[in-house]
């Protein structure tokens, strides 16, 4: 057995498929599906977010990004609206009928988030926050686990093991690039990890080309590469006016650019007989 026993193919040969029910339709993440998650890096205000949520719903997005707590390198950067942003997310969920994903940074926020979001994201900076991972293992909510900035594939899967070992089998892996010596991109996207994880693990894997590259012009080609390598979906940042975004504007697509990317992804998914 591999050290990441519960996450391994040896332990569970069949693919894990995660089902999320919403008022609009059921959403599935896992092998055989191509799931698209999109939205701004952070919820900035009601008018901006609700308008974008409607646009994305019309474009066929499956899950909305809804960041209200944002870990930032600088303490002076916009760190999200916090708990007051939750009411905006509630409205978006009700208006669109779509499930939402948001990042949890602290176990103390679980009471606020647990019953009001559909997927909890453990960000790259918290990939080895073992106290948080253990708490995620005790709840009955899908958890998206992003790869750490410098984490090996084994370290990443062992972090997933913490959640699985707690009894929560609904774990989604997210490749978002790793830190290397290359300065021209924000991170280096490990497309090979996608193909390898399909062999090593039964867990769904998606790719975040926005955080991975840090450049909006690179999002579409990396997203296409991710689907071609076998990813079960993508998570991208979209903003009506990226130049005025309070966080990560340089890597955000406009709705028009996102619509073009979605069409490209749909064609690739069809070639691989993936359900949309």
| pLDDT surpasses 80 at 234 | yes
Residue 68 near residue 42 (C-beta atoms within 8 A): yes
Domains, the chain? 18-178+185-268 (3.20.20.70)
Residue that is written with structure tokens 């989604």 in the block:
172
Q: Is 6 helix (H, G, I), strand (E, B) or coil?
A: coil
Alpha-carbon gap, residue 136 to 114, rounded angstroms: 10
CA torsion through residues 169, 17, 101, 244, sign: positive
**29 pLDDT tier (thresholds 50, 70, 90):** very high
- Calculate mean pLDDT across residues 231-259: 95
Give CA torsion, residues 260, 231, 181, 144, to 10 deg: 100
Residue 79's pLDDT is: 80
Q: What digits encode the pLDDT tens for the residues 112-155?
A: 999 999 999 999 999 999 999 999 999 999 999 999 999 999 99
- Calculate mean pLDDT across residues 156-184: 96
Residue 81's pLDDT is: 85
Beta bridge partners of 206: 174
Residue 106's pLDDT is: 93
Mean pLDDT, the chain, integer: 94
Q: What digits encode the pLDDT tens for the residues 53-86?
A: 999 999 999 999 999 988 877 887 888 788 889 9
Residue 176 near residue 147 (C-beta atoms within 8 A): yes
- Calculate mean pLDDT across residues 100-121: 95
Worst-scoring range by mean pLDDT, 13-17, 19-23, 51-55, 121-125? 19-23
CA 61 to chain centroid, in Å, comes to 13
């Amino acid at each position: 057995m591999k050290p990441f026993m519960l996450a391994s193919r040896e332990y569970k040969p069949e693919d894990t498929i995660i089902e999320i029910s919403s008022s609009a339709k059921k959403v599935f993440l896992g092998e055989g599906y191509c799931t698209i998650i999109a939205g701004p890096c952070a919820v900035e205000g009601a008018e901006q977010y609700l308008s974008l949520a409607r646009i994305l719903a019309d474009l066929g997005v499956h899950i909305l990004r809804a960041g209200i707590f944002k870990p930032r390198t600088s303490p002076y950067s916009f760190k999200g609206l916090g708990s007051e942003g939750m009411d905006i997310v509630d409205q978006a969920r009700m208006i669109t009928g779509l499930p939402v994903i948001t990042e949890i940074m602290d176990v103390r926020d679980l009471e606020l988030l647990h019953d009001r979001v559909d997927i909890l994201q453990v960000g790259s900076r918290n990939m080895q926050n073992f106290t948080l991972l253990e708490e995620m293992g005790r709840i009955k909510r899908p958890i998206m686990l992003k790869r750490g900035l410098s984490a090996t594939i084994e370290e990443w899967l062992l972090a997933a093991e913490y959640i699985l070992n707690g009894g929560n089998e609904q774990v989604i892996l997210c490749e978002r690039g790793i830190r290397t010596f290359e300065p021209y991109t924000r991170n280096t996207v490990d497309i090979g990890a996608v193909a390898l994880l399909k062999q090593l693990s039964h867990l769904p894997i998606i790719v975040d080309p926005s955080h991975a590259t840090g450049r909006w012009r690179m999002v579409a080609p990396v997203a296409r590469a991710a689907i071609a390598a076998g990813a079960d979906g993508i998570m991208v940042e979209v903003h009506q006016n990226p130049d005025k975004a309070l966080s990560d504007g340089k890597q955000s697509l406009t709705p028009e650019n996102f619509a073009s990317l979605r069409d490209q992804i749909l064609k690739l998914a069809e070639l691989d007989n993936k359900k949309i």
